[in-house]
A and B are shown apart, each in its own frame.
Chain A
Amino acid sequence: MTTTPAPKPAAAAGGRAGMKKELPEKFRSYKHVWVFIELERGHVHPVSWELMGEGRKLADKLGVQLAGVVLGGAGEDTRNAVQECYAYGADVAYLVESPVLADYRNEPYTRCMTELVNKFQPEILLLGATTLGRDLAGSVATTLATGLTADCTELAVDADGSLAATRPTFGGSLLCTIYTLNFRPQMATVRPRVFSMPERLDDKSGPVIEYEFTMIEDEIVTKLLQFIPDRDSNKSNLAYADVVVAGGLGLGSAENYQLVRDLAKALGADWGGSRPLVQRGWIPADRQIGQTGKTIRPKLYIAAGISGAIQHRVGVEGADLILAINTDKNAPIMDFAHLAIITDAVRFLPALAKEVRQRIAPNTRSRLVG
């Protein structure tokens, strides 16, 4: 159990409300770490399991339980998601099955999560920073009037048991650590691939707490008319690729970007680029790597002509091996790359692609992972 300073009546009356920890009496019973399990169209988004891995560490540090919270339509997919919670480290799972939760819509999901939090009172609530997670988190934090920190890159528990949520700030030029001292739950979202996938344990099970959600379809204004799935060819799978090649302004021109794609093809890798390339229209927005684009955790990351601003750095630091190709040996990327070649990427990339093709095999095809 965490220690908290003695209560004061009507905590935080006046002054800088949240600077000092004076947790009001009503929040003292809030306990345990929750992860919202993002189940959409039968599939759990992997970010939910990544959060489980991190949530496990927070729960252990606090000496509390880790719970997975599964909302969905009644059926096998929803039940399977509950089973998977244990496999990824949950002590307990909350389950809400209702026809109104079959497809994600803000209204029923916000209402349901708000009811669950008010009833079961977790101290920490984590969600993936996906379109679904961000849509839901912003709403739930408002209905609960609590603090929410978006796109965290690091989560920790400090000496007095508060969640220390670190995220990039000022457009990714610095990092800041944010606390929600006097409100509960402490909410945070984390982007896919910021944390690694925890090991999956078979044959683990645990208690399921089922909650009856009474909202009916007639109460919900927004109706889902249709879901148009993305064609696979549209989809970049950067976040989950094993090998990624990316380019930056050092390539000099949009035409030279093709060299990145050629190397990616030779390696069977996925491809992307830094923010300025998206801003200049050299590559589509879903190919952006960095804080406001995709976070990647490949085994191998090759960065060609990328200087390595912090907002890029936070998106690639999870890579096992980073090779930087840059003409400037003092570029910031040298602070976080493992290997570097000081040369002009435009000259070097074709040679590397050729070498890869010779050494590996002639017809390497692009592979999508995960």
Chain B
Amino acid sequence: MHIVVCIKQVPDSAQIRVHPVTNTIMRQGVPTIINPYDLFAIEAALRLRDKHGGNVTVLTMGPPMAEDSLRRALTYGVDRAVLLTDRAFAGSDTLATSYALSQAIIKIGKTYEPVDIVFTGKQTIDGDTAQVGPGIAKRLDLHQLTYVSGISEVNLEGKTITVERRAEGGVQVLKSKLPCLITMLEGTNEIRRGSIDVALAAARAEIVTWNAAAAGVAEMGKCGLKGSPTVVKRVFAPAARAEKAKIIDIGGLAPDAMASKALDEIFGRLPTIEKELTAMAQS
């Protein structure tokens, strides 16, 4: 079987700092990582390949330096890495991104072998939209299976797949058909450590690099800023509240007395809560 995993290289959000005066993101020196949610997709794809045979291709769209994340993915043992990079993609929102990626997936299918499953992570940690997966599914007319927590059965002959999908208040067990698109839920597996041999091979491996033309992206009006219906008009830090927190004076008090004073303050400001808590306790 042939599986494509879409990943994204993102700044390590734990290390993002905002400039205190200009309120802009300070990008210098912020390390990049594979979007952590995508690791669950990579591992799920590798497990299917290990069980059923075939190949896993990872795909990313981004600047040339996104090659780092592809190489990282190769160290986990994926078979092929494709980088989609073109200035024309700059400024893409989720709709434009899903167009470009869908065209590249078509090209991957034609160049190598037909694609059975496309995986993505649940969402990215920088955009947090969870929109690109469904976007790709609709553009390629793939059966869409989001928030998947487990894949219980894949039947390559019958072209069927059964998954567990996290829904509000429970889990849906869904039976669908290949080809499909799966967005993998976090915490559902643990990314493997590749062997030394795999890591060494990854360092030398070819990264297939396509610009828009090479990837068969035909309608440039659907790419980049031109293809993006959403417009970011303003980026800002939230306004500070006029009033800062009132600091409860606890100078020299023992913890018990501090607690008593804190409760007085809380009940003073929220008179109803004391009654409610008491009523609750007695019911």
Taking Cβ atoms with an 8 Å cutoff, the residues of A that contact B are: 12, 14-19, 38, 40-41, 45, 103-107, 110, 130-132, 134-135, 137-139, 141-143, 145-151, 164, 168-183, 221-230, 235, 242-243, 267-268, 276, 279, 285, 291-292, 299-300, 310, 313-314, 320-324, 329, 333-343, 347-348, 350-352, 354-356, 359-365, 367
Contacts and interface: CB of A to CB of B under 8 A. Distances in A.
Contacts, number: 302
B49 interface: no
B231 A142 contact: no
29 contacts: A16-B91, A16-B225, A40-B169, A107-B144, A147-B229, A150-B128, A168-B128, A178-B230, A178-B232, A180-B230, A183-B229, A221-B143, A222-B174, A224-B173, A225-B162, A227-B172, A243-B277, A268-B280, A321-B273, A329-B247, A339-B246, A339-B266, A340-B248, A341-B258, A351-B256, A355-B260, A360-B278, A360-B281, A362-B281
B174 A354 contact: no
A170 B248 contact: no
A132 B167 contact: yes
Q: Which 4 A-B pairs have the closest CB atoms?
A: A138-B134, A361-B281, A171-B13, A147-B229
B213 interface: no
Given A145-B229, A355-B256, A313 B238 contact: yes
A147 B258 contact: no
B273 to A, nearest CB: 6
Contacts of A335: 240-241, 244-245
A339 B241 CA distance: 13
Contact of A361 (B169, B247, B282): B282
B93 interface: yes
A350 B98 CA distance: 51
Contacts of B126: 170-171
A348 to B, nearest CB: 6
Nearest to B131: A138
B170 interface: yes
Nearest to A136: B134
A339 B259 contact: no
A339 B18 contact: no
Contacts of B277: 243, 267-268, 356, 360, 364
Given A132-B168, A230-B169, A340-B248, A175 B236 contact: yes
B263 A338 contact: no
B230 A131 contact: no
Given A150-B131, A222-B175, A363-B281, A107 B143 contact: yes
A137 B225 CA distance: 21
Contacts of B186: 285
Contacts of A137: 131, 134
Contacts of B166: 131
B168 A45 contact: yes
B13, B125, B162, B177 interface centre (most CB from chain A within 10 Å) = B13
